Amino acid sequence: MKKLLTRFLSSNILNPVEMAGANARYHLSQWPVGCAPKPNLSGNRNEASSSGSPSGDESRFKRSRQVGNDYHLPVLLEEVTHYLAPQRDNLYLDATLGGGGHSEQLLRVGAKVIGLDQDPAALSFARARLGDYRDSFGAIQGNFRDFGDILETIGIRGLDGVLLDLGISSRQVDDADRGFSFNKPGPLDMRMDPDAEVTAAELVNSCDEAELARVFYHYGEERASYKIARGIVERRQAKPFQCTTDLAQFVESLIPRRGRIHPATRVFQALRIAVNNELRALEEALAEVPRWLRPGGRLVVISFHSLEDRIVKSYLKRCSQSQLDRPEWPAPKENPEHFFKLVMQKGLTPSPEEIKGNPRARSARLRVAERLEGAVS
Ligand SMILES: C[S@@+](CC[C@H](N)C(=O)[O-])C[C@H]1O[C@@H](n2cnc3c(N)ncnc32)[C@H](O)[C@@H]1O
């Protein structure tokens, strides 16, 4: 276990980005029969229309939306639709399918959608919900960091839009057995992909003090990271941590509660990010987008905490500058990564009405960029 954790931490945490490659892991068995490189999902702009909205049946859409909202209320739904501006028969990648709320909005106007999620439970739910769109929708289990390999394997050549709605769904938080919530007793798991290598319990019970402190500090921005790490390492010798509420109460015993925020919030965020290697997966997915997005196609990203947003913001800033300059250079140079035009300078946040109806939307921030002319492989 020690060896596994050392490998996991050194390869996954706080290391520079590598492109997804031969080791990319995904499950094409989840790709529905009949949706594999079928012409209507090839993503060719000129191809003839095939299906579109199934029947224009509003009441069926409303019914499906209610069922879906039970799973997860999509955040900034109208804004995502507005900025992706889906067109009939164009092809979109919903890289965080979840309950399929955003995808449904795209499918409704006759667009085609490939939905990706690393959580098989999300895929089953979204497939059932979006069953009426089976000619224009396909769902695949996989990590979005590998989306380029996945699209290549199924014969896709380009995309008209990409959506990343980061983090976890309400269903994942609310299901105590997944171990994401510090309010409900459950196994200290936190894996979005149940086959992933390492659980939160394994990190908490096996990492050394410095590694744990690093995780809490970098991924939770927790100022008391060393105090918490030291406390955990001492306590686990007598009784390892297996249960979410056990860990939450232990952290609360070390860090007094200030205001309404539970003292374990940052520790849980940090562990979740580490277990799912979320920041690195985001960096790798963003780096792959320019290769797939057709000119005029848009990248829409919703982030839920400052670490994610910082990555998105700095990536988009870097790739929207036509020229680069450094004091040591005699003159500015052309930016080889000038892929995007920013559609908005600042991120967009949900309206007070949306936050009232869905408090989980409160920390959301949406950013949009449009692919400039240039070769798409
Ligand atoms: C906020 S939810 C998306 C909700 C969705 N937009 C909807 O309308 O229901 C995020 C989803 O992305 C998935 N996810 C997060 N990181 C992922 C990754 N690296 N690769 C694939 N799926 C990921 C989670 O499992 C979760 O189902």
Please name the residues in contact with 109: beta carbons below 8 A apart, sequence gap of 6 or more. Answer: 53, 86, 87, 88
- The verdict on residue 12 lying in a domain is no
End-to-end Cα separation, the chain, in angstroms: 41
Q: Which CATH number fits the domain that encloses residue 332?
A: 3.40.50.150
How far from chain centre, in Å, is Cα 131? 23
Question: Of 276, 299, 334, which residue constitutes the final position of a domain?
Answer: 276
Of the given ranges (126-135, 190-199, 251-260, 261-270), which has the lowest mean pLDDT? 251-260
Q: Which domain holds residue 265?
A: 178-276
- The verdict on residue 20 lying in a domain is no
* Over residues 283-301, mean pLDDT: 98
Of the given ranges (159-168, 178-187, 254-263, 353-362), which has the lowest mean pLDDT? 254-263
Q: Which CATH number fits the domain that encloses residue 265?
A: 1.10.150.170
**Which residue type, as a one-letter code, is found at position 200?**
A
Probe ligand 1: pick from 97, 137, 163, 300, max atoms within 8 Å of CB?
97
What atom of ligand 1 comes closest to residue 193's alpha carbon?
A: 25
**Nearest one of 233, 177, 180 to 210, comparing CA atoms:** 233
User: Which residues' Cβ are closer than 6 Å to ligand 1?
Assistant: 72, 74, 96, 98-102, 116-119, 122, 143-145, 165, 167-169, 192, 281
pLDDT tens column, 36-75: 332 222 223 232 233 333 444 455 556 566 666 788 899 9
Percent of the chain with pLDDT over 70: 81
Q: How far is the CA of 310 from the centre of ligand 1 (A)?
A: 19
Look at the chain and report how many structural domains it folds into: 2
pLDDT tens column, 223-239: 999 999 999 999 999 99
In this structure, the residue with its CA closest to atom 20 of ligand 1 is 143
What atom of ligand 1 comes closest to residue 171's alpha carbon?
A: 27
Question: Of 209, 241, 276, which residue constitutes the final position of a domain?
Answer: 276
pLDDT band at 176, cuts 50/70/90? Answer: very high
In a shared domain, residues 57 and 144: yes
CB atoms within 10 A of CB 17: 15
In a shared domain, residues 155 and 284: yes
Q: How far is the CA of 343 from the centre of ligand 1 (A)?
A: 23
pTM, 2 dp: 0.85
Question: Of 276, 300, 333, which residue constitutes the final position of a domain?
Answer: 276
